[in-house]
Structure 1
Amino acid sequence: MLTSLQGSARPPAGLRPFALPALRHPTVTTLLTDHRALLAELLDGLGSPLHVVLPEVFEENLTRLRQAFTTAGAPADVLFAKKANKAACFVDSAAALDAGVDVAGAPELLGALAGGVPGHRIGISGPEKDDALHALAVRHGCLVAVDSPGELDRLAATARSVGRRARVLLRIRTAGQSGSRFGIPEAGVPAAVGRCAELADHLRLRGFSFHLNGYDPAERATAANRSIAYGLDARRRGCPEAELVDIGGGLPVRYVEPHTWKAFLAQDRPVHYHAAKEFAGSYPYGGRTAIEAVGELLTHPVDGTESLAAKARRTGTRLLVEPGRALLDQAGFTLFRVRQVDDRRNEDGYAVVTVAGTSFSLSEQWFGSEFLPDPVLLPAGPPEPRTTPPDTTFPACVAGSTCLESDLLTWRKIGFPRPVRPGDHLAYLNTAGYQMDSNESPFHGAALPLKAVLRVGDGSLPPRWHLDGV
């Protein structure tokens, strides 16, 4: 959590902004250092902001995540959580690697099918789905996570009218998430299993899922262990196919080095932000990686000393996992063109950089926080000689170009290595996971930002690009 202390908006004399550099995948480094001209041309031609998406990195993440589950002794079926990014290219990559997709509504389901993902690899987890979505899911053999007894009965009725059995997961509301609006309370699970057995002509209970907030592997292992027990009970009660446990997403991403993150938290104060802005907390930018979290989850002891992975093997349980952010780690970044610089250093100690675009293209503020890793300053032309001493920086926050006082991409005062100038570019790294399009809006009549899909390959040829969906 971010430290929350009162303070002035004007920094004390001599205070320098704390650097929080973002980690970079080698592909990102190659693009930023060796292909600046291409990025500049794309930004000039396609507009600011521009989202650059990297399906090769997504594919690498998917392969490594599968291997982590296999190495731990519990191979899992991976369903990409489509809500984390709207780009069609990631669905195409999932289809090419025989992975699945998790969707929440008909538009996402149609997009997954159009991208080549077969229905039996698509999970539908939106709450209280309507009958039209049920019918589409049943016809394509999708796996439907049911949130309530009422939805279960509606799905059975739809399956009866379609003439096919529906594949079902019962979504559990765990005791630790009693305030959640998702899922069936644990006390109601036995009755729901009994209902599935009664409606076996129309429903195939395949297993159980659950919704958790946060990244605690022990909590997730406990919920998975409970789900395994429910599956064993369901098999005894007339639902022999209840062999799946969907552990959801909740795999963290590391954006910055852990030691840098720890040091940042120790010094963080409202004085470091425009208008002394305070946030209640933040994403754990320097926490565990997804691969580390998978290891902790699967080796966590359940029912004494047996690991979750060992229990899944022993009971014939197949795990499903629905990562979004983790598969998109380093798989995209966002470019903004600097429109104006209001240099207030003599009055306030920092400048306000206004970019062409809005904070709606960095969606962390949707969660009551901000996207904290430093943006990278990219000169629009040849680098100019440094005009400040090597040990000084140009402190500035970054604002959007709307009429809203709250439209700041970065409230924190960033220490840029040289003065920022109109026409320069700012690159926000690692924005593919939830950041770049969750909140985007045609506010002020602006067009939605475009996505350029880049593939670098082995470096023997120039990068190839196309617009997403084209």
Structure 2
Amino acid sequence: MAVNGRPLPALPVLPDAAAEQVVACGLLPELAYAFGGPFHFLLPEAFDANLRAIREALAAAGVDGSVYFAKKANKAALFVERAAAGGAGVDVASAAELREALGHGVRGEHLVVTGPAKDRTLLHLAVQHGALIAVDSLDELDALVTTALTGRIRPARILLRVLPPAQPHSRFGLTDAELATALDRCVRGGDAVRMEGFSFHLSGYALQPRADLAAHLVELCLGARVQGLEASRISIGGGLPISYTDADSWHTFLAGHKSSHYHAGKTFHTGDFYPYHSPVAGADALAALLATRPEGHQHPLARLLRDAGVLLLLEPGRALLHQAGATVFGVQGVKQRDGYLILTVDGTSLSLSEQWFNSEYLPDPVLIPREPDGLDNADGSDGAFPACVGAATCLESDMLTWRKIPFPRRPRTGDLLVYPNTAGYQMDSNESPFHDLALPPKVVIDRTDRPRPRWRLDRHVA
């Protein structure tokens, strides 16, 4: 689309039949009326499909593995319930997350506890329920040994988290010297400690560094076994990218976007954007990772894992939540400004977390008109109505979308905006009842194969 002869970049999302049916069936305006504000809707079947695809990628590569849903990616109880039903584990980082996972059907031995400097309550619960614990420091290891010895409950199941050599300034993980000390303490810990392997926390989505570090952890397992430790598994965390849009749209956007395309001339650096398109994504990215040959090795990662008899643990969040939900806002104000519109919606950018990381959630929202037949292109050029989207707060910087989105019709008060594919980290990572605005409820769409989908409220207890 073009406005006054100048192209405005668009970023349409990839087609998704389930979400499109929810939009088309007329349910969303009724829910907006019922809740009187923004809300999220969740699609459980997408989570199930993503979990199956990841397991199929492991099986195709001949790799034994376990999948843990990274709960931090979304607070909804739904996804913990689906993980439990599908036999997957859950990655938690607080006592509250651990309790909720247990309460929604996940067995303790199917939990992995991550995060730095875990408090004593969390450590006690993790040991008591047989959860696997990623140890991030020597102090934490000592506290775990004390917990296991004092309570005489059961051994503390642990992974030792390794500081990535390529990211030496990371605040996560043990240095080589700390790792050697930790292994010695695990040996001396006797029956109080069950050292099951190693893990890492690696930023970014590049496959080669992740494969290289995974191979290093396999070597660490072999060395730890010589010391009499179990060392049977490694965790490589998440880091499986997903694609929100197609390659042409993404590259066209990156090549053409500039400050004039954003409200108030806002400037974003391309490197600060999430990679909204990836050549390989989700389960395909896992397959590519397993087929990657780590530096210094003759065989791909999958072969190294098989030969060493090492179980691969994965902790995906975004990759399990691809196409599993969207966020709906109502337009409550429209004003004209220098050739484009400023929309104000009935929520805040705290419900689109990317905006709070010096970035922008780029996928185009879908406009649902209050009056479907009231299409009005009288003051648009080439059928485009550029508009940015602001929040219902007093903060100048509280923008859901700084970008001037080229809508196909003029947005009006009472219309709805549906931000697609927000289940992964976007919809509730930073939500807050600022201005005493209620947090958007989560609606579970249980059936999308009906003319009128069935829905219910999510069971998460705040």
Place the TM-score, normalised by the shorter chain, in its bin. Answer: over 0.9
Match of 2:226?
236
The worse-fitting range, judged by mean Cα deviation, of 220-229 and 448-457 is 448-457
Match of 2:29?
40
Shift of residue 461 of structure 1? 5.9
Match of 2:291?
299
Which of residues 246, 265, 275 in structure 2 aligns to 1:276? 265
Overall identity of the aligned pairs, in %: 50
Matches within 5 A, 1:310-459: 310-344=303-337, 348-388=338-378, 391-457=382-448, 459=449
Matches within 5 A, 1:200-211: 200-211=190-201
Partners of 1:393 and 1:355 in 2: how far apart? 20
Which of residues 128, 135, 140 in structure 1 aligns to 2:124? 135
CA deviation vs aligned residue, 1:272-312 (integer Å, no higher than 9, x gap): 00011112320000113112211221011134321100110
Partners of 1:309 and 1:200 in 2: how far apart? 32
Show structure 1 runs of 5+ residues with no match.
1-10
Matched residue type, 2:19:
V
Q: Does residue 126 in structure 1 map to residue 119 in structure 2?
A: no
Shift of residue 190 of structure 1? 2.0
Partners of 2:383 and 2:450 in 1: how far apart? 39
Match of 1:15?
6
Matched residue type, 2:125:
L
Partners of 2:373 and 2:222 in 1: how far apart? 65
Partners of 1:41 and 1:422 in 2: how far apart? 16
Partners of 1:419 and 1:385 in 2: how far apart? 8
The alignment partner of 1:200 has SS state of: helix
Match of 2:453?
463
Equivalenced residues, count: 453
Matches within 5 A, 1:40-59: 40-59=29-48
Matched residue type, 1:23:
L
Matched residue type, 2:427:
M
Q: Does residue 75 in structure 1 map to residue 68 in structure 2?
A: no
Matched residue type, 2:285:
A
Matches within 5 A, 1:178-193: 178-193=168-183
Matched residue type, 2:98:
L
The alignment partner of 2:6 has SS state of: coil
The alignment partner of 1:177 has SS state of: coil
Match of 1:115?
104
Match of 1:267?
256
Matched residue type, 2:167:
Q
Q: Is the 8 A contact 1:16 1:415 kept in 2?
A: no
Match of 1:152?
141
Partners of 1:83 and 1:365 in 2: how far apart? 18
Q: Is the 8 A contact 1:27 1:456 kept in 2?
A: no
Partners of 1:88 and 1:199 in 2: how far apart? 37
Match of 1:92?
81
Matched residue type, 1:246:
S
Seen in structure 2, the aligned counterparts of structure 1 residues 461 and 269 have a Cα distance that, compared at 3 Å, is closer
Segments of 4+ moved more than 4 angstroms = none
Partners of 2:147 and 2:23 in 1: how far apart? 52
Q: Is the 8 A contact 2:377 2:383 kept in 1?
A: no
Q: Is the 8 A contact 1:49 1:449 kept in 2?
A: yes
Match of 2:203?
213
The alignment partner of 2:387 has SS state of: strand
Partners of 2:352 and 2:403 in 1: how far apart? 14
Matched residue type, 2:391:
G
Matched residue type, 1:294:
L
Partners of 2:362 and 2:381 in 1: how far apart? 24
Q: Does residue 309 in structure 1 map to residue 298 in structure 2?
A: no
Matched residue type, 2:333:
Q
The alignment partner of 2:210 has SS state of: helix
CA deviation vs aligned residue, 1:363-420 (integer Å, no higher than 9, x gap): 0023210100111000123321443478330111000010000011000000000111
Matched residue type, 1:305:
Q
Q: Is the 8 A contact 1:364 1:370 kept in 2?
A: yes
Matched residue type, 2:313:
L
The alignment partner of 2:444 has SS state of: strand
Q: Is the 8 A contact 2:355 2:399 kept in 1?
A: no
What is the aligned-residue RMSD (CA, Å)? 1.5
Partners of 1:423 and 1:461 in 2: how far apart? 25
The alignment partner of 1:133 has SS state of: helix
Q: Is the 8 A contact 1:138 1:162 kept in 2?
A: no
Match of 1:286?
277
Partners of 2:305 and 2:354 in 1: how far apart? 35
The worse-fitting range, judged by mean Cα deviation, of 460-469 and 350-359 is 460-469
Q: Is the 8 A contact 2:71 2:92 kept in 1?
A: yes
Show structure 2 runs of 5+ residues with no match.
none
Partners of 1:353 and 1:409 in 2: how far apart? 10
Shift of residue 186 of structure 1? 2.6
Shift of residue 12 of structure 1? 8.8
